[in-house]
Structure 1
Amino acid sequence: MEEIPNHHLIVITKETVKKVREQSGISDVQRIRQSVDIVEEWLKKQDHLAEATNYLNRNLIERVYLIAQGSIEATKRRMERLLTSRGMMPELVLNRSVEEFETLWEVVNYVPLPQLHPTDMSRVMVTQFLTGKLEPFSILSYFRYCFLIGEYRISFDYTPSERYVIDLTNIHLGLLSKLNPIVVKKAEVLCTEGIGTKIKGIHILNAPPFVDKLVFLLKQALREKVANRVHVHSTYEDLHKHIPKEMLPKDYGGDEPSIAKLSEQWKEHLKTDEAKRLIQGTEKLVSDESKRQSSKFNEEYMGMPGSFRKLTVD
């Protein structure tokens, strides 16, 4: 990354870039630039990936390179897997528009917090349910919005990992019927096996009395390593042991603006022409399976959307 991306809702500094690179074991800027060049040229020479490279942001390649801890070959595999898996799960990431989420916004807020976690450099994503009227809520629509935010953010963010805070205020037993384990599983796989994002923690706040049932269903849909990182916090002070209050919104005893304010800022920005252009570009980030050797596809990806047996978590 030649320049630090600038975005008014995502704080990235020279110091955070340095820390992220150090955590990945890479600090040589020239090495990073040359490695990204190599991966970019390789992608252009793959018949089934060449068209997608016209819409790739180099920051995406660099982020995957960091996740792969400086391995060029691992970066190639991850990039190929990302473009393939997106095409295999179009219901999660394709044919989207910002306008389709107007109904979802009435039920839930989903926002990235501005500051990176000072210890592990993860981006903290907050889900906040706004009402007990869950009829308009769709788990598929929710994940489509999550991936839209995440893919848009790639152009500006600089982190290999994420944490998720889920505020269950206003939630009742009816939420359980909304949780489709297959959709949850696909979302996790696309997150961890597509781009390769490392999930550092899932933190549940303001849990209802039936939280054990909810956590059980959630863990059934997640792989063991991720499931073991699910935490239920009885107080905000307990949350502060994992996420410093300085980076949390004031809703949770922190110092940052409220989730409502951050959410409105994101909604307004996503409706701008610039944001819509970037979002539209992500629609092209898929492999062209008509140009791939079928034998290789069968070996690597058969069963991916269903059983996920061949996939692993970092």
Structure 2
Amino acid sequence: MNSIPENTLLNFKDDTLVSVRKDYDLEKPGRMDEAVDILVEWLKKQDHFVKKEFAREHLERRIIFSKGSVERAKVKLDRNCTLKTLMPTFYENINFKNDYKESDTIVDAILPKLTDDHYRCYALKCFAKRFDNGFTNYFRFSLAMIEYISAHDYCKGLIAILDYRETNLIEMIKKIDITELRHFITLLTEGYGMKIKSMHIIHTSKAIDTLVTILKQCVSAKIGQRIQVHKDMESLHKFVQKDVLPTEFGGDEKSIFELHDNWVNELSSEEFQKYFEAIKAATTNEMYRQTDKFNDEYMGMAGTFRTFLVD
């Protein structure tokens, strides 16, 4: 890939491609092509992969999201396909434009502008007072966005910003299924290889301490140390530059409501739905995997998710 294609949802800086590659020692001519070639040849030998052919641009982004490591990209691809096999509920079809009722109370988006150091921000503003339907559809929407940026983005990782100031946090905590949340975060970090640079939560009540405790049970110790709580936007702006943030977050970007609608429309489009159907079929057939290899990599018996999570 010689340049990053223009995109209606995601903007890039003029030096993003070169700068991100340079961080991983892949900026010299031919280096990225060599890395992708290695990944292509490796895929051909993976008998347990249902889908072995991916666009070269997709594989390049896998390498970038794996911090430039081909070996790490192999592991992430394997885990992504395996986790899709083990957790199909996250990939059930839903018409986001018509049936995603959570849009009335949970408004989120991956933001258009990159930070100066080429990180992408995710922002969420929640108004919900009750959570009778749980969070499964929200996780499905989030993973659809992640699939989109896996195909189109070029960045070093994510910064998450969660505004819960207008949320009934006690009711929300009651409805959190810790197992489901852990599975979702495992998919995000281990399946897609998303580096979470930091997580910023905006809330003023003491109940936020309980939420942070729950989150720390579901993420690695390293990510847990990156969780920060803010009482107002001024505090947030010390860590996240204002020009990338929506107006509701005190920034210069479009409204979070408009950005959310743009994502709903894109993820509901015929083009993306066709792509999503194809990419979610990238699963594994464990009958063809070497059991000892599965045990070595996932620390458990083949086909059991409980032991897989030990990692």
1:167 equivalent to 2:163? Answer yes
CA distance 1:57–1:160, change in 2 (3 Å): farther
Question: Normalized against structure 2, the TM-score is what?
Answer: 0.90
* CA distance in structure 2 between the partners assigned to 1:23 and 1:157 by the alignment: 16
Cα displacement string for residues 192-250 of structure 1 (whole angstroms, at most 9, x for unaligned residues): 21122111111111343421122122222222111111111112111111110011111
CA contact (8 A) 1:269 1:275 kept: yes
* CA distance in structure 1 between the partners assigned to 2:227 and 2:58 by the alignment: 27
Total equivalences in the alignment: 306
Which residue does 1:52 correspond to in 2?
51
Which residue does 2:283 correspond to in 1?
286
Cα displacement string for residues 109-149 of structure 1 (whole angstroms, at most 9, x for unaligned residues): 12101011212x2211112113324334x222221211111
Which residue does 1:15 correspond to in 2?
15
RMSD of the alignment, in Å?
A: 2.1
Structure-to-structure mapping, 1:225-304, within 5 angstroms: 225-301=222-298, 302=300
SS class of match (1:104): helix
Structure-to-structure mapping, 1:89-128, within 5 angstroms: 89-92=87-90, 94-99=91-96, 101-119=99-117, 121-128=118-125
CA distance 1:57–1:178, change in 2 (3 Å): farther
CA contact (8 A) 1:117 1:247 kept: yes
Deviation at 1:101, TM superposition (A): 4.9
CA contact (8 A) 2:198 2:226 kept: yes
1:155 equivalent to 2:151? Answer yes
CA contact (8 A) 1:113 1:125 kept: yes
Residue identity opposite 1:28 in structure 2:
K
Cα displacement string for residues 47-100 of structure 1 (whole angstroms, at most 9, x for unaligned residues): 112x4123x3333321222244433333223222222222222222x2333348
Q: Unaligned 5+ residue runs, structure 1?
A: none
CA contact (8 A) 1:63 1:160 kept: no
CA contact (8 A) 1:186 1:305 kept: no
Q: Unaligned 5+ residue runs, structure 2?
A: none
CA contact (8 A) 1:107 1:134 kept: no
Which residue does 2:68 correspond to in 1?
70
Deviation at 1:45, TM superposition (A): 2.5
* CA distance in structure 2 between the partners assigned to 1:264 and 1:60 by the alignment: 25
More off after superposition, 21-30 vs 266-275: 21-30
SS class of match (2:48): coil
SS class of match (1:163): strand
* CA distance in structure 1 between the partners assigned to 2:264 and 2:234 by the alignment: 30
CA distance 1:13–1:101, change in 2 (3 Å): farther
SS class of match (1:53): coil
Which residue does 2:139 correspond to in 1?
143
SS class of match (1:306): helix
SS class of match (2:92): coil
SS class of match (2:125): strand
Cα displacement string for residues 138-190 of structure 1 (whole angstroms, at most 9, x for unaligned residues): 22222121111110222110123111111103211111111111112112221
SS class of match (2:305): coil
* CA distance in structure 2 between the partners assigned to 1:70 and 1:223 by the alignment: 21
CA contact (8 A) 1:4 1:13 kept: no
Among the aligned pairs, what percent are the same residue?
A: 29
Which residue does 1:185 correspond to in 2?
182
Deviation at 1:309, TM superposition (A): 5.7
* CA distance in structure 1 between the partners assigned to 2:263 and 2:69 by the alignment: 34
* CA distance in structure 2 between the partners assigned to 1:280 and 1:8 by the alignment: 21
| Aligned counterpart in structure 2 of residue 219 of structure 1, from 216, 221, 241 | 216
Deviation at 1:257, TM superposition (A): 0.3
Which residue does 2:59 correspond to in 1?
61
SS class of match (1:115): strand
SS class of match (1:135): coil
Deviation at 1:260, TM superposition (A): 0.4
